[in-house]
Structure 1
Amino acid sequence: MTTDTQVAQAPGSLLGRARKGVLWVSVVVYGSKVLNVATTLILARILAPEDYGLLAAASVVVAALVVFTDMGLGTAIVQSKADRQRMASTAFFLMPAIGLLLYLVAFASAGTLADLLNSPRSENLIRVVSLSLLLGSFATVPAALLEKDMAYKRKAIPDLVPTFVYIAVTLVLATAFDAGPYSLAIGSVSSTVAAVVLVWAVSSWRPSWCFDWAIAKQLVSFGKHVLGGGVIIYVTTNMDNIFVSRVEGPAALGLYGLAYSLANLPATHIADVIGRVLLPSFVQMNDDLARLRRNYVRSLKLITLVVSPVVAGLAATSPVLVPVLLGPKWEPMVPALALLLVFGGIRSVAGSTGSLLLAVGRPGVIFVTGLTGLALQAIALPVFLLVLDMGVTGAGLAVALASLVNSALIMAVVQRMLHFSGRRTLALGTRRLLPAALMGGVVWGVGTALPVALPTLLLQVVLGAALYVGFLVLINGRAPIDEARALTGR
């Protein structure tokens, strides 16, 4: 059985282990996302926007309960330095009890909650999807321990294989049985079952019959700040869904929900590859401020290098990409998709910064800074949806503005904490983002001048890649390329 001491003494530098972690997390995240995108493209032509909207309404309810299912204990396990076996066993016995309680709450209140969302057809979908609350609780502890040990190679199987299960079940139900939104719901639950089985198969840890109240209090004490931040994140990321569902109905929610999901692929999930590895890495260097600052800056440079061209490129091509790949029925979501993509890129930087704050024991900062963004979103959503009647586009604009403010606040806190030079940071950020902005402008112009067709989209992609590399080297020299090679060990 692997112990924390053995992990700490594992051969190879921390940077080397982090590089391997990035590689394996990349395999999982990129592999699953590529598969999910392909599935989305197929399902978008089979299912109607309303089908996605019905599931999105159910997901609003389940997402609220998921925050309380974990209660921040997964992150607390990664951060905790208590006795491994007693700590993990204590957390293990907490999780299923919480999951069962929350599932019963979801089952009993499904009808009322569906009516509140102006989506009564989502009632039974809530009951189906909520099964993941109970089932997933059994995987939290072994998955967190694998992440704590930076054992991403072993974790790749339970992280990636469930995606195949989801795709297979969803496509069969949607095409062969015409199950509509239930194909998405049952596919999601099936993937959760696969994930639970596989994470236990690859984990060498097994619980002991012990429960330490002192350790439980420590975990909950740390987790309550993560939980508080999770509540803020939930409200911030679902308030828009609630407003769209109540004001515009399930079909509009389907358009907005798919736009939001696609917008988060290049931003949140690319940054998540690095952020998931950064947390345990930062935990092990949080006593060395200079080293922490140096590696944090490196991570931001890498995130910007990867995220900015993808975000700018997708935003610029969205007027062509959506009708060509998804079909004309999805065209109303294009403006919202472009807004969410651009500001999602900014949000991804703040997301990786969250790993730093958790590692240094400052989870409360995430909670406090999130309040301002939440308040702004609460003001902007009714203005854009009710007063200005901007529909799906208004919801995207409200979320974009709130994300921008929240990201700026988090970065300001980190800047003071790590003693950054504000002028130097702004200059560096401008040089790194300008190539993507210039590339996006040219690519968008090409799209408006040519017919909306697959050849135009392919031309935009090839042209965008060439322009970004050219602008990057022209403005920054070879520095970004050398930094990327240093981080990847090449």
Structure 2
Amino acid sequence: MPTPHSPHPHPNPPPALLATRAVRGSLWVVASSYWTIGFGFLANMLLMRLLSPDVYGEFALAMFFFSLFQVRSKIALNYAFAQQRAITGETVGTLFVLDVLAGWGGVLLAFSVAPLLRWLGYPAAVIEIMLVLTILSGIESLLGVFQIVLESDLHFKPISIINGIAMPLSYIPAFVCAFTDLKRYSILAQSTSFTLLSLIGIGLYALYTQRHLLRLRWRYQSTLAVAYLRFGMTSGLGQAIAGLTTQVDNMILGTIAGTVHLGYYDRAYRVAQWPALLLSAVLGRAAIFTYSQLRDDVIRLQRAVTRVLWGSLHLAVPVALAVMLSANELVPLLFGAQWEPAIPLLRVLILLAVIRPVWDNLSAWFIGSGEPQRVVALSAIQLLLLVLIGTPLTLMGGEFGMAIGAVIAAGCSLLIAYWQVRRQLVVDLRQVLGNPLLAALGTLLIFWLLDRLVGSGQPLWLAVGWKAGVAFGGFFCWAYVLQPALFRRQIGEVWRAIRGKGERDA
């Protein structure tokens, strides 16, 4: 991508400072994600006791259509902007014009297809929710340029703090709706409030700290726009298809079995994605921009990819084990007996919590290395597999069949992705993937023995507690025993980054 001439170039920080900023930014994203997802989980734990499964099914189906018709995510201007090194009136102005056109173009598209969806028999509530979400995306595009500039410079702290404040406040309207006759719009009220509050925060922050952007003379440049769109559409299309792979199952199941069955499936899927959501928040922001900055340094790039992969698995696997082992007690304890039909779905879908971080890391590497077309191809393969495998399994087994199909499609896609990069990205899979797998198997053995000794009959909270404790304690003990030197080194790297001493091998 061409870099426009500018008297005020976007500074390229030294490697040590870049590594420290990237890791610190990642830690802020992790902290914010843990807070927002953790608070969201607690709030939804209460909402699920107030709302019926069909409410969640309708919102999940609406989210699929919103993702399908939204334009902004399909041109990925943030990734395109990260590929150049200058902030000028031309780059900022072009970015702003393209983002706004994409945002409101999605609104026009959604309103155009709404009558067709109603004619096909989809519930009116699904269509209404989709339209509101697209309007919010259009409003968000008006301030998107400020957020993109911050992220491209690896400054994730301000956005993390703003989102962390907006999250708890956004649930106030949701509970108001849940306790009234507006239950069907409770989840939409939360999503709307969160978006508007975040935009207010970003707008105020931009006025006080990004005035240098406002002082620039914003101008649209067609040549630069073509360059942005060429790279961004390739990256965005891959990201959009990847997003559809996590939502097309909702469309298939909702169309075939209805929104009630989809509600059970959606909640099981979301619970199974707890660890993956946290890790994807990091990979989706920090990893892509970090890999982009390091793409010319092959050795440090491979080290960064390996570390992210190692850390992702050592966070995702124990959480997945804890959910799997305690599912029988966890679901009724947190959400109530009405959600027990989701338990068998959860035990299957939790496997995605381990597969997805590995896939997201490879996807971030493709984009950061300037090869977003690979993400498009691999995501399309996974989407095709999910449709071909998931549809007949859903017809035969309903939501349980779809759960099996989702895991099979994700696993096959991951194998294909690794086969393509096995020569370019030198990663010791035996060490990175094999040892967490052995640690998980060792943990399952410990659990099997303890379960025979302890037996059943404990209160729900006690059963969840000791099973989760075995999952975390057993996994990390086995992980240390299997890789003592590597385990200490990786923990040390994180600690040094927190203390601001930079990357060990910078």
TM-score greater than 0.5 by the shorter chain: yes
CA distance in 2, matches of 1:7, 1:174: 49
1:32 aligns with 2:36: yes
Identity across the alignment (%)? 23
Shift of 1:83: 4.7
Deviation by residue 1:361-395 (Cα, 9 ceiling, x = unmatched): 00001111223222221211122111x2x111111
Q: Give the CA deviation at 1:283.
A: 1.6
Deviation of residue 446 (structure 1)? 6.0
Which residue of 150, 156, 170 corresponds with 2:154? 150
**Partner SS state of residue 154, structure 2:** coil
Report the Cα distance in structure 1 between the residues aligned to 2:84 and 2:326, rounded to whole angstroms.
44
CA contact (8 A) 1:344 1:400 kept: no
Q: Counterpart in 2 of 1:134?
A: 138
What is the aligned partner in structure 1 of residue 415 from structure 2?
A: 408
Inter-partner Cα distance in structure 2 for 1:366 and 1:163: 31
| 1:441 Cα deviation from its structure 2 partner | 5.6
Query: Aligned pair in 2 of structure 1 residues 140, 488: CA closer, same or farther (>3 Å)?
Result: farther
Q: CA distance change for structure 1 residues 117 and 81 in 2, over 3 Å: closer, same or farther?
A: farther
Structure 2 residue 99 is matched with structure 1 residue 98: no
Aligned match for 2:46, one of 15, 29, 42: 42
Q: Is the 8 A contact 2:90 2:221 kept in 1?
A: yes
CA 418–125 in structure 1, closer or farther in 2 if over 3 Å, else same: closer
Q: In 2, are the aligned partners of 1:57 and 1:119 still within 8 Å (CA)?
A: no
Question: Equivalent residue of 1:287, what SS?
Answer: coil
1:456 and 2:463 correspond: yes
- Structure 1 unaligned spans of 5+: none
Rounded Cα–Cα distance in structure 1 between residues aligned with 2:432 and 2:442: 16
Q: Which amino acid aligns with 1:184?
A: I
Q: Check whether the contact 1:135–1:192 (CA below 8 A) recurs between aligned residues.
A: no
Aligned partner of 1:467: which letter?
A: G
Aligned partner of 1:461: which letter? A
Who is 1:188 aligned against?
191
The corresponding residue for 1:475 is 482
The separation in 1 between residues aligned to 2:254 and 2:143, in whole angstroms, is 32
The aligned counterpart of 2:287 is 278
The superposition leaves residues 315-352 of structure 1 with CA deviations (integer Å, 9 ceiling, x where unpaired) of: 22222211111111111122222222213311211102
- Counterpart among 60, 63, 70 of residue 59 in structure 1: 63
SS at match of 2:85: coil
Give the secondary structure class of the aligned counterpart of 1:151: coil
Number of aligned residue pairs: 483
Structure 2 counterpart of 1:160? 164
Residues 439-448 or 298-307, more deviating? 439-448
1:117-146 CA distance string (max 9 Å, x none):
643442322333332221222232211111
- Is 1:337 matched with 2:346? yes
Query: CA contact under 8 A between 1:312 and 1:437: conserved in structure 2?
Result: no
Moved more, 50-59 or 164-173: 164-173
In the TM superposition, what is the alpha-carbon distance from 1:182 to its structure 2 partner? 0.7
Aligned residue for 1:22? Answer: 26
C-alpha spacing 1:317/1:4, structure 2 compared with 1 (3 Å): farther
* Runs (5+) with no aligned partner, structure 2: 1-5, 500-506
Q: TM-score, structure 1 length as denominator?
A: 0.92
| Deviation (angstroms), 1:157 | 2.5
Contact 1:316 1:444 in 2 (8 A): no
- CA-based RMSD of the aligned residues comes to 2.4
> Could you list the per-position Cα deviations for residues 138-161 of structure 1 after superposition, in whole angstroms to 9, with x for gaps in the alignment?
232211111111112222223322
Whether 2:360 is the aligned partner of 1:317: answer: no
> What is the identity, as a one-letter code, of the residue corresponding to 2:123?
S
Shift of 1:48: 0.5
Name the structure 1 match of 2:202. 199
One-letter code of the match for 1:220?
Answer: L
Contact 1:256 1:392 (8 Å CA) reproduced: yes
1:488, 1:79 → 2: CA distance?
A: 30
- Per-residue CA deviation, residues 437-469 of structure 1 (Å, 9 max, x unaligned), is 432464478679423712111121223222122
Alpha-carbon distance in 1 for matches of 2:267, 2:240: 22
